[in-house]
Amino acid sequence: MNYDFATIMVIALVVCGVIWAVDAWLWAPRRRAVLATAAQSAGGSLDEETRARLGKEPVLVEYARSFFPVILIVFMLRSFLVEPFRIPSGSMIPTLWTGDFILVNKFAYGIRLPILNAKILNIGEPKRGDVVVFRYPEDPSTDYIKRVIGVPGDRISYHDKTVFINGVAAGQQFVGPYTEFPTGIPLPSRLEVESLGDKQHILVIHPGFSGRLEEGEWTVPQGGYFMMGDNRDNSNDSRAWGFVPEKNLVGKAFMIWMNWNGANGGITWNRLGERIH
């Protein structure tokens, strides 16, 4: 089940704010009135213990007042600056592994209103080679992460495990065999450095594998982006379901802050702090 964390935070923020406001407008004046009456009955003076007992905030109010600023700060940071995500699949191997926890720049492609996702300030646009988190077009409640291959107006084709952009092949340079992390398709596989203009990244190719995503041609519409996984033979991407609308963009992935792999004993220390290229 997918949970909209932003909506949960807004609800928590509203609940805490309402409790805090009701206390300030209704319950707190009543506590002060009780204190004043008790002080008058005691001859104008109350001991500290009695004053603390009569003036004590309800536990619910105390928690609401304490959590409200914390939730607000986290909500603002997560909505407009940086949001954490966890990689659930191997479609971006070797760049990202299953179990990677990443940070995403939320303002790289513009400032958007939380929940509504309406852009209110345009800052930049995705470029070929960017690793981007977006809402899956066929189920916007699910976040996907892929690499931008085509921008609006591009003609993209894929033949013989090679990407062609506007008729020009994206160069590949063989690096060596790949054995570091399971790709979801039986070995052997190989590492290739792919060039998208002046940007380079490493991808995994399975030379002998043939699947439904082997061939195709597409023209990227205005307001859309063509996405592919770096694990080219095992990625559910634009070759299967089409283009990502600009409104579905979430942000640009820029760093791995942790990797957790329970099968291999927990934290993979050498991935901590690794930049995403």
- The neighbour count for residue 58, using CB atoms within 10 Å, is 12
- Predicted confidence (pLDDT) per residue in 128-176, tens digit: 999 999 999 999 999 999 999 999 999 999 999 999 999 999 999 999 9
Active-site residue, selected from the candidate residues 41, 79, 89, 91: 91
Give 192's strand partners. Answer: 174, 203
**Average pLDDT for the chain:** 92
Give the Å distances, CA to CA, from 32 to 18, 26, 27, 44, 138.
20, 10, 9, 14, 56
Which one-letter amino acid corresponds to residue 19? I
Question: Exactly one of 79, 106, 146, 189 is catalytic; which is it?
Answer: 146
Asked whether residue 2 carries a pLDDT value surpassing 60, the answer given is no
CA distance linking residue 84 with residue 141, whole number of Å: 16
What are the beta bridge partners of residue 76? none
Q: What is the mean pLDDT of residues 10-31?
A: 94
Residue with tokens 């009135």: 33
- Asked whether the predicted pLDDT for residue 50 surpasses 90, the reply is no
Per-residue pLDDT at 1 = 34
Cβ contacts of 39 within 8 Å, gap of 6 or more: 45, 46
pLDDT tier at 187 (50, 70, 90 boundaries)? Answer: confident
What is d(CA 51, CA 5) in angstroms, rounded to the nearest whole number?
41
Give the pairing type, strands 119-121 and 143-150.
unpaired
**Residue carrying structure tokens 């107006």:** 153
Structure-token match 């770096």, residue found: 230
Angle, CA 267 vertex, CA 261 and CA 268 arms, to 5°: 85
Cα separation, 5 vs 79, in Å, equals 10
Whether 146 sits among the annotated catalytic residues: the reply is yes
pLDDT digits (tens, 9 = 90+) for 65-109: 999 999 999 999 999 999 999 999 999 999 999 999 999 999 999
Residues linked to residue 82 through DSSP beta bridges, in sequence order:
105
| Catalytic (active site) residue 91 | yes
